[in-house]
A and B are shown apart, each in its own frame.
Chain A
């Protein structure tokens, strides 16, 4: 097979030149240049470990270079828990081939056979004691070639760096308060920009008195393009004040565009939609009893602690550089090009770290804001940042969902028929995937771009389809998804996408069926699950949580939840222990996860633990409030999230599977955590709360 035909691992397939991924530097360092980006999940550390492993160098020699469209491989979006699979596999192969190329050079120079060489921290040492090094041999021309796929990476048994809990590379800067975030970048001559968003969804700007804002100290420009309104000032505090002044003097034409929040499920069921049958399998098995239930989850915000921020600099009339914390620099560039009517090649998009995003938050939107404002900056760079109110209220929300589940049980209580149908908007409005931009400001321009309804990524990952298909062995099954095509509230990818609500529904319903069948919830799941890795995490979580020896006491309950993320990735089982007082307190989450080969055990545990805590917050507290015109969040107090005093103890066990493919861990725990908490609430109180979040009001309502 020729190199051009070879199927290469991960994103090396589409970005085949070794020089796109790795560079040996004479100073004794290795530059690794993934297209994936750090979003607080620790991916740069894990990828650095993989590079260090294959090259046989110390981790300290790896220099992770932030992604830029000027140089990095196009790895799409850092999302879907795919970076370890796609980028990690590419870096593993690229570095294995780099090592082989440098060993061949060394063998020629030292006059020995390649197999007489070993590498110790970049030193290449021959059996006869002669030596050279990567650094001495460093030559960019050596890697200016395509990968061949002909070099085998190390077997897991030989790993020394992979599989070890290397400390996070980015943490020292963050703990010491060093400039590291995009918010900390200061460009020479930089102006500060703020956008005044429309007064409500669908509002059009009628008039605005700009004079008062223009008269404020430091104000450089007021920018208006249709209903896009913003301001530029010399200092940040001046820009904020000017934006407030403008907002107070803007008149908007407003109308009701949002559904009735009190009848949201009804709206989702009746809105215009597109139906896709995901799976349909008939079975002759006869049901003796049938059951059905409906579960809902509300619109949910990403709610990053940092504000969305970007910098933009027009270096010529038709040339733009943007600094962004977007998850997809090439995708953002494509949408900026559409919105600004520029060829993509005239735009450079440079990544800089932001706060955690948890999916498609306004990081991309603010980049267009900065670019539009910077047009009025006279060639000076502009730093734009959203307000907390806009960050929560104009966020591309995780879509509200309705999930209908029904099942038929045979005479022994086994599930023989299963149906699941869900209703929601699409789960992705990410940029770069259509011939129209999805960036917020593009909708508000004098020549506006159309609002496209959110889509669902295709199966097997899916959006609202994600984990709609249960992993359990039900003989008869029908799974269908109804994607709502009206999008009054903009929706997009929130961590785990549809898997959160689907798994909540499946796992809660499993418990309801177990109760109907008179079976223990753990035993009932195992009865329907042949997959050995799935069984193993359920058994491990149950064992670790002391499931079989648990004691039922007043107001205390235990519940279990399980899923294999996307039915492709992490296996995760969660046992929740809750206490029902005035409100539900989750006391402990005991988690077992199988992520295949573990690159960084502590990093993986940290991601699982964090995902579980975030899911507990979604499950107990979070729902985006809105009226018929707008999201009614002005500040954090309108969107409470779990606090330090409310966070449960979390205990994570990673099952060691070095022989299995490494998969991403960031989204495996969310659905199972929600299911476990819902089931524990039932165990404690004897009521089913099928509408998230599980608030005291909902519990009272469920008690009916």
Chain B
């Protein structure tokens, strides 16, 4: 790991000194202090830790650091500037779409990826895009409404 591994996180170039097989979720949370990416299972089965890797929504728990080398990572913190939240973030608040909120970071990332390639998804398309994300509180329908609402708003 001499010299570390360099990747771009939320638009900034970062060099990380960590073993190259370290799961990206630990690098983001513990090395780079980006706590918005949640750790839920460590096995790519719950969706809580999704981030954008070169625009694709991937589980950061199942992505080793080496696989992110030289790539662009966007976390929930990087979806928009804090002073002007992403339309999806605004829509989640407008719809009060959450209870405990632990699943929301990963869902936001996958929803952002969806809207990037499908500007006007149907409800069924939204559900399909979010199907790998588990929510235990039962906030699904509100979340789906929020994504549909965001799709109608300017980016």
Q: In whole angstroms, what is the CA distance A237 to B16 when docked?
A: 14
Bound CA span A641–B138, Å: 11
CB closest chain-B residue, reference A649: B141
A645→B103 contact, CB < 8 A: no
Residues on B with beta carbons closer than 8 Å to the beta carbon of A217 = 19
The answer, yes or no, to whether B42 is at the interface (CB within 8 Å) is yes
- Asked if A236 and B26 sit within 8 Å, CB to CB, the answer is yes
**When each residue 155-190 of chain A gets 1 if its CB lies under 8 Å from chain B and 0 otherwise, what string results?**
000000000010110111011111111011000000
Any chain A CB within 8 A of the CB of B48? yes
CA distance A612 to B140 in the complex (A): 12
What's the tally of chain B residues with a CB closer than 8 Å to chain A?
56
A305 engages B42 (CB within 8 Å): no
Of the listed stretches A39-47, A552-560, A568-576, chain B binds A39-47
Considering the complex, give the chain B residue whose CB is closest to the CB of A666: B99
B32 interfacial contact with A, CB 8 Å: no
Instruction: Among B45, B108, B141, B144, point to the contact of A175 (Cβ < 8 A).
Output: B108
Interface: A637 (CB within 8 A): yes
* Chain-B contact segment, one of A125-133, A138-146, A529-537, A602-610: A602-610
Are B48 and A305 interface neighbours, CB within 8 A? yes
Q: Is the CB of A611 within 8 A of B134?
A: no
B110-143 Cβ-contact flags toward A at 8 Å (1 or 0): 0000000000000010111011011111111111
| Chain A 618-659 per-residue mask, 1 if CB under 8 angstroms from chain B, else 0 | 000000000000000001110001011101011000000000
Among B23, B35, B100, the residue within 8 A (CB) of A177 is B35
Q: Is the CB of B136 within 8 A of A388?
A: no
Chain A residues within an 8 Å CB radius of B101: 40, 170-171, 174-175, 180, 355
Q: Are A305 and B99 in contact, with the CB atoms below 8 A?
A: no
In the bound complex, residues from chain B placing their C-beta under 8 Å from that of A612 are 138
A610–B137 touching, CB < 8 Å: yes
Q: In the assembled complex, which residues on chain B have CB atoms less than 8 Å from the CB atom of A304?
A: 100, 102, 136
Category for how many chain A residues contact B: 35 or more
Chain A residues within 8 Å of B133, by CB: 644
Q: Is there an interface contact between A184 and B35, defined as CB atoms closer than 8 Å?
A: yes
Could you say which residues of chain A place their CB within 8 Å of the CB of B76?
Answer: 176-177
The answer, among A172, A176, A306, for a CB contact under 8 Å with B40, is: A306
A3-46 vs B, Cβ < 8 Å mask (1 yes, 0 no): 00000000000000000000000000000000000011110000
Complex-state Cα separation, A301 to B108, whole angstroms: 26
Assembly CA distance A644 to B97 (angstroms): 14
Nearest-CB distance from B142 to chain A (Å)?
Answer: 7
Is A358 close to B, CB under 8 A? yes
- Interface membership of A286, Cβ < 8 A: no
A176 in contact with B136 (CB, 8 Å): no
B138 touches A611 (CB 8 A): yes
Whether B138 lies near A647 (C-beta < 8 A) is yes
Kindly state whether residue A289 has any CB partner on chain B within 8 Å. Answer: no
Contact A636 B45 (CB under 8 A): yes
CB proximity of B126 to chain A, nearest CB, Å: 8
B89 part of interface (Cβ distance < 8 Å): yes
Taking a contact as CB atoms under 8 Å apart, the answer to whether A635 and B45 are in contact is yes
| Contact residues in A for B108 (Cβ distance below 8 Å) | 175, 177
- Complexed CA–CA distance, A612 and B104 (Å): 20
Known: A181-B102, A388-B43, A644-B130. A613 touches B140 (CB 8 A): yes
Contact between chains at A42 and B99 (CB < 8 Å): yes
Of B23, B93, B140, the most chain A CB neighbours within 10 A belong to: B140
* Bound CA span A165–B137, Å: 19
Bound Cα distance from A92 to B17, whole angstroms: 53
Contact call B96/A41, Cβ cutoff below 8 A: no
CA gap between A240 and B23 in the complex, in Å: 11
Alpha-carbon distance between A644 and B132 when the two chains are bound, in angstroms: 8
Contact between A644 and B144, CB atoms less than 8 A apart: yes
Interface string of A178-216 (1 = CB under 8 A from B): 111101100000000000000000000000000000000
Q: Which residues on the A side are within 8 Å of B105 (C-beta)?
A: 177
Check A355–B102 contact: CB distance below 8 A. yes
- Residues on B with C-beta less than 8 A from A167 are 93, 96
Most buried by A among B29, B48, B93, B136: B136
Is there an interface contact between A614 and B138, defined as CB atoms closer than 8 Å? yes
Q: Given A176-B82, A356-B99: A306 and B131 within 8 A (CB)?
A: no
When the two chains form their complex, are residues A614 and B136 in contact, meaning their CB atoms are under 8 A apart? yes
Question: When chains A and B are docked, how far (Å) is the Cα of A41 from the Cα of B50?
Answer: 24
Q: What's the nearest-Cβ distance from chain A to residue B91, in Å? A: 9
A176 with B77: CB separation less than 8 A: yes
Assembled-state Cα–Cα distance A237/B61 (Å): 11
Assembled-state Cα–Cα distance A617/B143 (Å): 17
When chains A and B are docked, how far (Å) is the Cα of A613 from the Cα of B93?
A: 20
Chain A residues positioned under 8 Å from B55 (CB to CB): none
CA distance A130 to B45 in the complex (A): 63
Q: Is B70 an interface residue (CB 8 A)?
A: no
Do the beta carbons of B131 and A644 come within 8 Å of each other?
yes
Give the contacting residue for A172; candidates B93, B102, B136; CB below 8 A: B93
CB-based nearest A residue for B34: A177
Residue of A nearest to B99 (CB): A40
> Could you tell me the distance between the alpha carbons of A602 and B139 in the complex, rounded to whole angstroms?
12
A603 to B97, CA, bound (A): 10
**How far is the CB of B146 from the nearest CB of chain A, in Å?**
9
Interface centre among A39, A358, A635, A644 (most CB of B within 10 A): A644
Docked Cα-Cα span, A302 to B2, in Å, equals 44
Tell whether, in the assembled complex, residue B138 and residue A40 are in contact, meaning their CB atoms are under 8 Å apart. Answer: no
Point out the residue from B104, B128, B137 that lies within 8 Å of A645, measured CB to CB.
B128
Q: A334 near B: Cβ within 8 Å?
A: no
For B38, B89, B131, the residue with the greatest tally of chain A CB atoms inside 10 Å of its CB is B38
| Bound Cα distance from A258 to B100, whole angstroms | 34
Taking a contact as CB atoms closer than 8 A, the residue among B38, B43, B127 that contacts A306 in the complex is B38
Report whether B137 and A644 are in contact in the complex, using a CB–CB cutoff of 8 Å: no
Are the CB atoms of B41 and A388 closer together than 8 Å?
A: yes
Write the chain B residue with the least CB distance to A174. B101
Contact status A635-B43, CB under 8 Å: yes
B41/A177 in contact, CB under 8 A = no
Cβ distance A485 to chain B, nearest Cβ, rounded Å: 31
Inter-subunit contact B139/A305 (CB<8 Å): no
B85 within 8 A of A: yes
Instruction: Judge if A592 is at the interface, Cβ distance under 8 Å.
Output: no
Contact B30 A305, beta carbon cutoff 8 Å? no
CB contacts (< 8 Å) of B41 on chain A: these are: 388, 635-636
Query: Which residues of chain A from 259 to 311 have any CB-CB distance to chain B below 8 Å in the complex?
Result: 303-307
- Alpha-carbon separation in the docked complex, A215 to B36 (Å): 32
1/0 contact string of B54-91 vs chain A (CB within 8 Å): 00000000000000000000011100001001000100
- Residue B7 is within 8 A (CB to CB) of chain A in the complex: no
Residues of A close to B135: CB separation below 8 A: 305, 644
The CA-CA distance from A641 to B103 in the complex, in Å, is 14
Interface presence of B46 (CB below 8 A): yes
Beyond A174-B101, A644-B128, 16 additional contacts (C-beta under 8 Å) are A165-B96, A168-B96, A172-B93, A177-B36, A177-B105, A178-B35, A179-B36, A237-B18, A237-B19, A237-B23, A387-B42, A613-B138, A644-B127, A644-B144, A645-B128, A649-B141
- A interface residue numbers (CB < 8 A to B): 39-42, 165, 167-168, 170-172, 174-181, 183-184, 217, 235-237, 240, 303-307, 354-356, 358, 385, 387-388, 602-603, 606-607, 609-614, 617, 635-637, 641, 643-645, 647, 649-650
Q: Ordered nearest first, which 5 A-B pairs have the shortest CB separation?
A: A177-B36, A40-B100, A613-B138, A174-B101, A610-B138
Write 12 A-B pairs (CB below 8 A) sorted by A numbering.
A175-B93, A180-B101, A240-B42, A303-B136, A304-B136, A305-B103, A355-B136, A356-B137, A388-B41, A636-B46, A644-B135, A644-B140
